[in-house]
Amino acid sequence: MALKQNQENNNYPARDNAIEWEKRSINYGASWKSVLFKGMPDLANEHFHSCHINFILECIKSNKDDIRILDIGCGYGRLSLPIIQKLPQAQIIGLDISANYVNLYKENTGRDAFVGTLESLPSEIGTFDYIIVVTVLMYLPKNNLKEVFPNLFSHLNKNGKIIIIEPAQSGIILQTGFGLAKLLHKDNSINTGGTCFSSTEIPNLVHDAGGIVIQEQRIPATTFFFLLIYLMTKTLPQNLTYIIFRSISFVDGLLKRTKLPTLWAFYLIERK
């Protein structure tokens, strides 16, 4: 049933979400290609990683030593690692549908992690100051999304926040244009699928669950230069590429609150 819904609603349907992620975790291990773009050079994925982690670290503001953070769809710990580096006292826990990613997460971060799904968080997991969901909603059948936010809100502490980063429809043309889609999906042995969201979809789900988006950001420059980023990392010397990335990030900073197209939409959410 889940697979059928997936196939009806996703742009790139996964054959079976859990199985495909287990395969991907085994094939790619703890690498950028494991959880970012499979077809992109590492240097380009490193830039996309920075876009994600800069937003997350900006959002996590706490004076408490013992803040609790849940990283849902934690993968091998790409996001948790820099958080632990910045806030070593934080109690951070991972949860993932793939048992292999859970093992990689534990090895990489030295923190605990559990096999589970976003759709059915165990009540014993408790409540958190921050819940991080980055490129995970995109793998859920659209029909299941309504349940997600009420469930996440029930696992938030008072003043707790949810950090969401998911692919946006507005950026998909720039991402898949010029035949680049083929390049990004060139590893046909694994199909982790995924969909993207219109600009109102996630805010509406949050609103219907009694929450509010308190911050929304975009990365228009990275999105417009998506193809260029690919070409640059293939052709230019690394030093020059880093300089150009810094300029692109600077322009993203200037344009982050506009409604321009974006590869991902970045949301900070709380209960009303």
Ligand X SMILES: C[S@@+](CC[C@H](N)C(=O)[O-])C[C@H]1O[C@@H](n2cnc3c(N)ncnc32)[C@H](O)[C@@H]1O
From 128-136, 236-244, 249-257, 260-268, span contacting ligand X (CB under 6 A): 128-136
Indicate whether 79 belongs to the interface with ligand X (CB under 6 A): yes
Q: Of the candidates 261, 265, 58, 86, which has an alpha carbon nearest to the alpha carbon of residue 174?
A: 261
Q: CB of 29: closest distance to ligand X in angstroms?
A: 12
String of DSSP letters for 125-150: G--EEEEEEES-GGGS-GGGHHHHHH
Q: Are 124 and 95 in contact (CB under 8 A)?
A: no
The single residue among 68, 78, 155, 161 that binds ligand X, judged by CB under 6 A, is 78
DSSP 258: S
From 3-11, 90-98, 204-212, 235-243, span contacting ligand X (CB under 6 A): 90-98
Site for ligand X in 162-221 (CB under 6 A): none
Indicate whether 108 belongs to the interface with ligand X (CB under 6 A): no
Alpha helix (H) ranges present in the chain? 2-9, 17-28, 32-35, 42-59, 80-86, 99-109, 145-153, 169-176, 180-184, 201-208, 220-224, 226-235, 238-255
How far is it, in rounded angstroms, from Cα 82 to Cα 155? 23
The single residue among 40, 83, 134, 174 that binds ligand X, judged by CB under 6 A, is 134
90: tokens are 């934080």
For ligand X, which is the closer residue by CB, 21 or 130? Answer: 21
Indicate whether 245 belongs to the interface with ligand X (CB under 6 A): no
Q: Are 123 and 134 in contact (CB under 8 A)?
A: no
Q: CB of 158: closest distance to ligand X in angstroms?
A: 25
From 66-74, 208-216, 225-233, 248-256, span contacting ligand X (CB under 6 A): 66-74
Number of residues that make up the chain: 272
How far is it, in rounded angstroms, from Cα 165 to Cα 264? 6
Q: CB of 112: closest distance to ligand X in angstroms?
A: 16
From 85-93, 114-122, 229-237, 261-269, span contacting ligand X (CB under 6 A): 114-122
Indicate whether 232 belongs to the interface with ligand X (CB under 6 A): no
Q: Are 194 and 166 in contact (CB under 8 A)?
A: no
Indicate whether 53 belongs to the interface with ligand X (CB under 6 A): no
Q: CB of 143: closest distance to ligand X in angstroms?
A: 13
Indicate whether 118 belongs to the interface with ligand X (CB under 6 A): yes
Q: Are 171 and 223 in contact (CB under 8 A)?
A: yes
For ligand X, which is the closer residue by CB, 169 or 251? Answer: 169
For ligand X, which is the closer residue by CB, 43 or 113? Answer: 113
Binding residues (CB under 6 A) for ligand X: these are: 17, 21, 35, 72-75, 78-79, 96-98, 101, 117-119, 134-136, 139-140
